[in-house]
Chains A and B, each alone.
Chain A
Amino acid sequence: MLTESTIEKLRILAESAKYDVSCSSSGTVRSGKKGMVGNTVGGVGICHSFADDGRCISLLKVMLTNYCMYDCAYCINRRSNDIKRATLSVSELEEIVMEFYRRNYIEGLFLSSGVVRNPDYTMERLVRIAQDLRTIHRFNGYIHLKSIPGASRELIKRAGLYADRMSVNIEIPKEESLKLLAPEKDHKSVFEPMGFIREGVLENKEDKKHLKHVPRFVPAGQSTQMIVGATPETDKDILLLSSALYNQPTMRRVYYSGYISVNTYDSRLPVLKQPPLVRENRLYQADWLLRFYHFNVNEIVDEIHTNLDLDVDPKLAWALRHPEQFPVDINKDDYERILRVPGIGVKSALQIVNSRRFNRITSYHLKKMGVVMKKAKYFITCGELTNMFSGPTIGINEIHPERLRPLLLSDKQKKEINDRKQLSFDFDA
């Protein structure tokens, strides 16, 4: 039975869990079953609410306990912090999940925990809850379990039977930085459990080929997260790692979390006035290019461009570096090339290649389809000799990239760039 004290515990444990970015309920379709509660819808999942910070609330994201024996410098829950600590009982947590779910507040549970006693002891408790939810409460909704770094193969394989998704957070891309900030962790403690999950999924796939009734195993794959701006890693370091991760089967999402100075007293960490939100956003855009726009990571970052351009999005940045790739002929060039035009997204690219089988596509059509012509017009031709209103078409090669660039910034962006300069100036002073 829940009481008023549960409210306080939930508050503490949600605040401790909130720095984990992932909240997604994506990646698996499972319809309802008689005698069970819930289904999962696949696609991008369902966000049930949006918090005041604009982030999606899909799952009940909570820690079982925020007591932790480790002392990771970037984490609010590190043992040397003097914060309120709490632990939810197994039955309390299970009741909250079920009652929230039945009221359509959530898609399911995203459970993590501070490390108590040892990794396996902690992991075991997380697995217990997932198992109870499935077998006792007949819960058929979404479960995301965070694997405790250093947890054993055996426990991860058990967890995988009940979870839809699992995650192990890398947090810091380079091992030397990680060891500096989280002395109890190393890359092995992260990549090994990732490997166990992958193994489990692949074995499960194999089994399905030969056997009839195979229990499901982490059907929505795994995800991970990297903190941005707490350590000197460049965007190149980060994106190379992301790209390598995406090349492994089962890795579905890499999240980026702009570092928030939670432990300002620790001199190993930078003191940031604000989390690096623009940089974080650019990393997500680059990640998007890797996953949906068929970009290779080397096209986005390289020896010279080790960090993403903060002023323009990575797709536009690439286009400005590659005038020789343009103009793209909307009526002739293939889908892949159309997808690379700044201002054209996946949806409009598909509409273009579909519609041009009926008739020639003009800039009028493009506008109607939702193409951002303000950007796209410098990179395309539609076979129109002149643009009705603005005279002969002038593209990136006539204007030259360096003069085109300022034309593509909105006044708001220009102001932001100025503010940023101002801000970095403050830092220097």
Chain B
Amino acid sequence: MTGSSYLLILMHKPMLVYTFDNTLDGLLSAVFDSFYYHEMPNDLLTAGDAIPLFCDRIHEIHTDENKSKRVWKGLENKLSYIGLSIITISFLSEERDKNYALFSYICKAFKNPNKISIEKNFSDPDVLLCTQTYRRVCYEAKRMKQFLRFQQAKDGTYLGVIHPDHNVLPLIIDHFKDRFNDQSFLIFDAKRKYGYYYDKEEASRITFSEGETLSFDNETGKMNSDILSDNDKLFQDLWKTYFKAICIKERLNPKKQAGDMPRRYWKYMTEKQN
């Protein structure tokens, strides 16, 4: 045995990996198990992910609502409203490589001996990463409130199609319900293929089954012309005209425009469609 590999074995601590079902309840159940067994996994992976080479033990988390509820109850004593939102909202980023940081953030919240909540310690890499992820998701939710465009169908229902990077639809639906409480609408996430339909009373989650013909083009969000209301085209034209007219051509600044309104959102926006 060469010297260096001998050293490797001496330094080698057993590597433990948790796997879970990629739900928030699952992640909280993982925290429960970690405290129950007094162990800290080296990574938290989604079931089905490739397992690292040097892994010694895998613990598969069984998502259990009782466990996740108990963890959440405990967290309510440890974190502020914002601190809790950082968990629920950063999870919507759907970025799996952030799961372990979120897991560590929660564990640290429990272990924190300090009276001041851990969420304020931005020199901690996990706190900082989760806070930054949370901010990015909130930012995109805001952007969807900005950039979503409705078209009106003949029956009076409005349709808005979005394609966000993160799963922000649950974060914006209340805003639209509040604002347009007297109009029925469907907001559809074309990336995740689900939406919310609001009937002037309640919003319910809907999905379309494979093969079902949609009343709109999933790629552009455009409503099929046979169901589009008669004057919607006129208002689209008015809006496009306004959009062009309000620009001061002595000040053209496409860089700022693309920074504030990233190009990837344009294809669903009326004023940027041909």
- A contacts, CB < 8 Å to B: 2, 6-7, 10-12, 14-15, 17-19, 31-39, 41, 46-57, 60-62, 96, 99-100, 102-105, 258, 260, 274-275, 277, 351-352, 354-359, 361-362, 365, 368-369
Contacts of B148 in A (CB 8 A): 104
Across the interface, name the chain B residue whose C-beta is closest to A354: B120
Q: Give Cα distance in the complex from A53 to B252, angstroms.
A: 4
Q: Is B197's CB within 8 Å of the partner chain A?
A: no
B251 in contact with A277 (CB, 8 Å): yes
A358 in contact with B149 (CB, 8 Å): no
Q: Give Cα distance in the complex from A369 to B131, angstroms.
A: 10
Instruction: Using C-beta atoms within 8 Å of the partner chain, give the interface range for chain B.
Output: 35 or more
For B229-272 the 0/1 string (1 means CB < 8 A from A) is 00100110111011111111111111111011100000001110
Q: Give Cα distance in the complex from A18 to B151, angstroms.
A: 26
Q: Which of B1-9, B29-37, B66-74, B178-186 contacts A (4 or more CB under 8 A)?
A: B178-186
A14 in contact with B122 (CB, 8 Å): no
B235 in contact with A103 (CB, 8 Å): yes
* Known contacts A35-B182, A37-B182; is-contact A49 B271 (Cβ 8 Å): yes
Q: Is B204's CB within 8 Å of the partner chain A?
A: no
- A194 nearest CB across to chain B (Å): 26
* Known contacts A10-B238, A46-B146, A60-B242; is-contact A102 B183 (Cβ 8 Å): yes
A51 in contact with B257 (CB, 8 Å): yes
Q: Is B116's CB within 8 Å of the partner chain A?
A: yes
Q: Give Cα distance in the complex from A56 to B3, angstroms.
A: 64
Q: Give Cα distance in the complex from A53 to B257, angstroms.
A: 7
Q: Is B114's CB within 8 Å of the partner chain A?
A: yes
* Known contacts A11-B241, A35-B182; is-contact A274 B250 (Cβ 8 Å): yes
A7 in contact with B241 (CB, 8 Å): yes
Across the interface, name the chain A residue whose C-beta is closest to B118: A358
A102 in complex: contacting residue of B122, B180, B254, CB < 8 Å: B180
* Known contacts A7-B237, A100-B239; is-contact A53 B181 (Cβ 8 Å): no
Contacts of B270 in A (CB 8 A): 103, 105
Q: Give Cα distance in the complex from A258 to B250, angstroms.
A: 11
A54 in contact with B260 (CB, 8 Å): yes
B181 in contact with A61 (CB, 8 Å): no
- A276 nearest CB across to chain B (Å): 11
B158 in contact with A53 (CB, 8 Å): no
Contacts of A355 in B (CB 8 A): 120-124
Q: Give Cα distance in the complex from A120 to B161, angstroms.
A: 45
A46 in contact with B178 (CB, 8 Å): no
Contacts of A260 in B (CB 8 A): 248, 250-251
Contacts of A2 in B (CB 8 A): 231, 234, 238
- A86 nearest CB across to chain B (Å): 12
B128 in contact with A368 (CB, 8 Å): yes
* Known contacts A48-B147, A104-B150; is-contact A53 B248 (Cβ 8 Å): yes
Across the interface, name the chain B residue whose C-beta is closest to A362: B123
Contacts of A34 in B (CB 8 A): 181-182
Q: Give Cα distance in the complex from A116 to B233, angstroms.
A: 33
Contacts of B160 in A (CB 8 A): 104
* Known contacts A51-B243, A51-B257, A103-B235; is-contact A359 B147 (Cβ 8 Å): no
- A408 nearest CB across to chain B (Å): 22
**Contact sample, A vs B, 24 pairs, CB 8 Å cutoff:** A6-B238, A7-B238, A7-B241, A10-B242, A11-B241, A11-B244, A14-B246, A15-B245, A18-B248, A31-B178, A38-B179, A41-B175, A46-B142, A49-B146, A49-B261, A52-B247, A55-B248, A56-B260, A99-B235, A103-B149, A103-B239, A355-B121, A368-B123, A368-B125
Q: Give Cα distance in the complex from A260 to B250, angstroms.
A: 8
Q: Give Cα distance in the complex from A2 to B256, angstroms.
A: 34
B242 in complex: contacting residue of A14, A38, A103, A351, CB < 8 Å: A14
- B186 nearest CB across to chain A (Å): 13
Across the interface, name the chain B residue whose C-beta is closest to A105: B239
Leading 3 A-B pairs by shortest Cβ distance: A54-B256, A54-B253, A14-B245
* Known contacts A7-B241, A56-B260; is-contact A354 B121 (Cβ 8 Å): yes
Q: Is the interface of B mostly helix, strand, loop or mixed?
A: helix
Contacts of B247 in A (CB 8 A): 18, 51-53, 55
Contacts of A11 in B (CB 8 A): 241-242, 244-245
* Known contacts A46-B146, A48-B146, A103-B158; is-contact A369 B241 (Cβ 8 Å): no
B151 in contact with A61 (CB, 8 Å): no
A357 in contact with B243 (CB, 8 Å): no
* Known contacts A32-B179, A38-B179, A49-B147; is-contact A54 B123 (Cβ 8 Å): no
A102 in contact with B246 (CB, 8 Å): no
Contacts of A100 in B (CB 8 A): 235, 238-239
Q: Give Cα distance in the complex from A47 to B269, angstroms.
A: 14
B151 in contact with A53 (CB, 8 Å): no
B250 in contact with A10 (CB, 8 Å): no
Contacts of B250 in A (CB 8 A): 260, 274-275
Q: Give Cα distance in the complex from A12 to B125, angstroms.
A: 54
- B103 nearest CB across to chain A (Å): 20
Contacts of B121 in A (CB 8 A): 354-355, 357-359
- B178 nearest CB across to chain A (Å): 4
Across the interface, name the chain A residue whose C-beta is closest to B187: A104
Besides the contacts A49-B269, A352-B122, A365-B122, what 18 more A-B pairs have beta carbons closer than 8 Å? A10-B241, A10-B242, A18-B246, A37-B179, A37-B180, A47-B260, A51-B246, A52-B247, A52-B257, A53-B247, A54-B256, A103-B158, A104-B148, A275-B251, A355-B122, A355-B123, A358-B116, A368-B122
- A211 nearest CB across to chain B (Å): 28
Q: Give Cα distance in the complex from A60 to B176, angstroms.
A: 19
For B135-158 the 0/1 string (1 means CB < 8 A from A) is 000000010011111111000001
Contacts of B234 in A (CB 8 A): 2, 7
- A382 nearest CB across to chain B (Å): 11
- B156 nearest CB across to chain A (Å): 10
Contacts of B181 in A (CB 8 A): 32-34
Contacts of A12 in B (CB 8 A): 245
A358 in contact with B150 (CB, 8 Å): no
B243 in contact with A358 (CB, 8 Å): no
Contacts of B239 in A (CB 8 A): 100, 103, 105
